[in-house]
């Protein structure tokens, strides 16, 4: 049996999305992994509840290329989904590996022949989804990560800070991409702010949901920017303190002026170098041999 041809049950599901009934031999079906609960390249992960909700949201969603908003780039549609649990695999967060598997179809046309060939040969494999979520929970404190002081990608008490995505409320589309965010599925989960801005600039109407999402996105960026600046200033203070320790005769205001506009990477390198210089210049103590004493109780500089 040709696995790329839908069976009777699958054909019934596919025909729910067609204008007129299609025949099985005219359809090419395939499966894709949309998203999972592993921490991805953006330091985010779905919780299992969100994966189940996401699976339902993506039924009937169109498949395109590189998140293009053009109708001419539509190539496939999802007709069914399922949540799969791999009990033999544990994520970095200590949970059973779970993912959303989607089943998609496209017509066997001359236009799609090359795409089908690329799928069959493994060239077109990685996928990415566009969706929005209501909540992003900080793995460190349990609060909304857009409001707390923790920063994704940093370690706190030996644990990687990441966002746990919950309550998905809309699924836009899924795409074939070259470099996905999630290692297993290639998921782009963030709200398409650039797309909305481009739409608005072109005179298009922006929905209330898009306005709300864009506002939340900008608010999150502003909070992250404030946290980043707070971190940079802490590095400036550390650098000034170390400079004053090495050069006590120089006024601290001079070091403050020199480091005022320095970036984070340069400050990190400078503070590391100053720390090393401070260790070298510190008094070196060596034990003095004392034959009359059993222990080294006297030292010399």
pLDDT number for residue 185:
42
Q: What share of the chain is helix, strand, coil (3-state, %, to 5)?
A: 35, 25, 40
For residue 190, which of 48, 65, 41, 64 has the smallest C-alpha distance? 41
Same domain, 173 and 216: no
pLDDT in tens, 149-170: 899 888 898 888 999 999 998 8
In this structure, of 40-54, 177-191, 207-221, 263-277, the range with the lowest mean pLDDT score is: 177-191
What DSSP line would sit under 111-160, residue for residue? Answer: TTHHHHHHHHTTSS--EEEEEEEEEEEETTTSSBTTTSS--TT-EETTEE
In this structure, of 98-107, 165-174, 274-283, the range with the lowest mean pLDDT score is: 274-283
Same domain, 176 and 92: yes
Q: Is residue 137 part of a domain?
A: no
Same domain, 68 and 31: yes
- Range of 301's domain? 206-301
Q: Which of 64-68, 107-111, 280-284 has the highest mean pLDDT?
A: 107-111
Q: Which of 34-43, 198-207, 218-227 has the highest mean pLDDT?
A: 34-43
More confident residue, 291 or 84: 84
Q: Is residue 195 part of a domain?
A: no
Domain count, the chain: 2
**106 near 75, Cβ under 8 Å?**
yes
Same domain, 239 and 288: yes
């Amino acid at each position: 049996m040709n696995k790329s041809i839908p069976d009777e049950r699958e054909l019934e599901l596919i025909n729910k999305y067609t204008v007129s009934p299609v025949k099985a031999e005219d359809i090419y079906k395939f499966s894709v992994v949309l998203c999972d609960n592993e921490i991805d390249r953006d330091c985010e992960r779905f919780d299992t509840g969100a994966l189940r909700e996401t699976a339902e949201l993506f039924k009937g969603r169109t498949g395109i290329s590189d998140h293009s908003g053009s109708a001419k780039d539509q190539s496939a549609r999802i007709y069914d989904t399922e949540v799969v649990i791999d009990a033999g695999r544990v994520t970095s967060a200590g949970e059973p590996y779970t993912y959303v598997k989607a089943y998609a179809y496209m017509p066997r046309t001359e236009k799609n022949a090359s795409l089908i060939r690329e799928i069959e040969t493994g060239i077109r494999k990685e996928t990415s989804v566009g969706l929005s979520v209501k909540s992003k929970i900080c793995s460190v404190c349990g609060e909304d990560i857009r409001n707390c002081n923790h920063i994704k990608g940093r370690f706190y008490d030996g644990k990687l800070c990441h966002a746990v995505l919950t309550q998905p409320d809309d699924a836009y589309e899924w795409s074939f991409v070259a470099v996905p965010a999630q290692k297993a599925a290639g998921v782009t989960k963030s709200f398409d702010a650039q797309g909305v801005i481009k739409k608005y600039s072109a005179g298009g109407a922006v929905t209330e949901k898009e306005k709300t999402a864009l506002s939340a996105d900008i608010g999150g960026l502003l909070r992250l920017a404030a946290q980043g600046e707070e971190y940079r200033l802490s590095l400036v203070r550390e650098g000034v303190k170390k400079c004053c320790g090495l050069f006590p005769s120089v006024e601290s205001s001079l070091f403050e002026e020199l480091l005022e506009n320095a970036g984070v990477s340069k400050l990190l390198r400078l503070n590391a170098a100053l720390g090393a210089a401070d260790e070298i210049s510190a008094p070196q103590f060596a034990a003095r041999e004392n034959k009359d004493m059993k222990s080294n109780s006297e030292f010399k500089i």
